[in-house]
Amino acid sequence: MRRPLSLPRLRTVAVATGAALLARRALRRRVRKSPLWPLPALEEPISGRSERRSTTGRRLLIAERTSLADGVVRLRLEGPDLPAWEPGAHLDLVLPSGLVRQYSLCGDPADTGAYTVAARLVEDGRGGSREVHTALHEGMEVEVHGPRNRFPLSAAPAHILIAGGIGITPILPMARLLAAGGADWRLLYGGRSRATMPFLEEIEKLGADGGRVTVVPQDEAGHPDIAAALAEAPEGTAVHCCGPQPLMDAVAAALPPGCVLRLERFSAAATDPAGSAPFEVELRRSGRTVPVAADQSVLAAVRAELPHVSYSCEQGFCGTCQQRVLEGEVEHRDELLTDQEREGSMLICVSRCRGGKLVLDL
């Protein structure tokens, strides 16, 4: 028996639907032939939309640090008068080294005294998760920005949630909300093994009524059957997915017509600037011009002159490095910015110049 879930932001559905369809189209171009997703070690989930980090930061107390699963720690960050958030939102954490990393909020939105995030240690990652695991301890303060939400729960007559590994973090608050609202929902949750999958106990309890949850540890059951999970999705179903790229590709490929797909990214396809032409970037406000070598990103060249310039993912999907372009033709290499955003800005970690020179508002 399906029952529409009433959400306060129904008016955003049309926008969300359009964005999801665009994302789906982009992903289809990159779908792999095999739907297998080997669940590689992952960094934290990061929203697939752009927004410069412009909010004023606040310092929160790390009140609790808990081991949730093998290689996964949960941090409870306490502070006064915390802004409200909804499922799908994330925080920017400014780590002691200055690295900025995004972590999905996985606690209870009704808990206005704290934010909760979880991070998986990625041994061969880019350093953010290692720093969370080794340098953030109970009793310390950490600077945060946000929350921001680029992965909101869409209103729909039915929902399918799909999570891979630590991708469960934005999905869990959605499942809680849908379960509490009596919605028609299902969750497919895959991971390398039960020991590495956080929140298993809570998730299995949430789905105890009506078999709504399917847990697929890879070492016991192999890869989740994405096609089967989506095969019976009725028209209008909203599919929210967070996990590794191969999982999202498989979901996009199997999405039935009439369903809406919403994605939360871990990473983007790496962009290799090798073979690109060199050019110059004028930093108009700073009165400097820097050369960008063929095998160098604009970000690297700019930071050599202006080390304070913000960045995070360096792969063109978090939006932290977005800068205004005053002159020049940009070769956009991200899949994040809208056409409108591309008219006056670029992501300097991946995008380049089509001519000999760009002028940035820096």
Written as six digits, the tokens of 22 are: 């665009």
Q: How far is the CB of 161 from ligand FES (least distance, A)?
A: 26
Q: Which stretch binds ligand FES (CB under 6 A): 11-19, 91-99, 239-247, 312-320?
A: 312-320
- Contact between 351 and ligand FES by CB under 6 A: the answer reads no
Residue nearer to ligand FES on the CB measure, 23 or 259: 23
Is residue 301 part of the contact set for ligand FES (CB under 6 A)? no
Q: Which is nearer to ligand FES, 154 or 271 (CB)?
A: 271
> Which amino acid type is present at position 53?
R
Told to check if 153 binds ligand FES by CB under 6 A, we report: no
Q: Residue 101 is inside which H or E element, if any?
A: strand 100-104
Distance CA 239, CA 263 (A): 8
Using the rule CB under 6 A, is 349 a contact of ligand FES? Answer: yes
Residue that has been written with the tokens 């540890």 in this structure: 217
Place of tokens 């797909």: 261
Backbone angles phi, psi at 64, to 5 degrees: -145, 140
User: Considering the rule CB under 6 A, would residue 311 count as an interface residue with ligand FES?
Assistant: yes
Q: Is 319 in the site for ligand FES (CB under 6 A)?
A: yes
Nearest by Cα to 40 from 253, 227, 266 = 266
**Per CB under 6 A, 45 contacts ligand FES:** no
Q: Is 48 in the site for ligand FES (CB under 6 A)?
A: no
What is the per-residue DSSP string for 137-201?
A: -TT-EEEEEEEE-SSPPPP-S-EEEEEEGGGHHHHHHHHHHHHHTT--EEEEEEES-GGG-TTHH
The answer to whether residue 266 forms part of the interface with ligand FES (CB under 6 A) is: no
Measure the CA–CA gap between 226 and 246, rounded to whole angstroms. Answer: 11
Stretch touching ligand FES by CB under 6 A, among 79-87, 184-192, 276-284, 319-327: 319-327
Q: Which residues contact 243 (CB under 8 A, 6 or more apart)?
A: 37, 39, 42, 162, 163, 164, 165, 167, 190, 266
**Given the rule CB under 6 A, which of 14-22, 85-93, 224-232, 310-318 is the region that contacts ligand FES?**
310-318
Q: Nearer to ligand FES by C-beta: 61 or 94?
A: 94
Dist CA 121 CA 306 (whole Å): 30
Residue 321 in the binding site for ligand FES (CB under 6 A): yes
Return the range that interacts with ligand FES (CB under 6 A); candidates 131-139, 216-224, 273-281, 318-326. Answer: 318-326
Question: Whole-number minimum distance, CB 95 to ligand FES, in Å?
Answer: 15
Going by C-beta distance under 8 Å and a sequence separation of 6 or more, which residues neighbour residue 214?
186, 187, 188, 189, 207, 224, 229
Single residue of 104, 169, 267, 320 touching ligand FES by CB under 6 A: 320
Question: Is 314 near ligand FES (CB under 6 A)?
Answer: yes
> Smallest gap, in angstroms, from Cβ of residue 192 to ligand FES?
26
**Cα–Cα distance for residue pair 239/157, rounded to 1 Å:** 11
Binding site for ligand FES (CB under 6 A): 311-314, 316-321, 347, 349
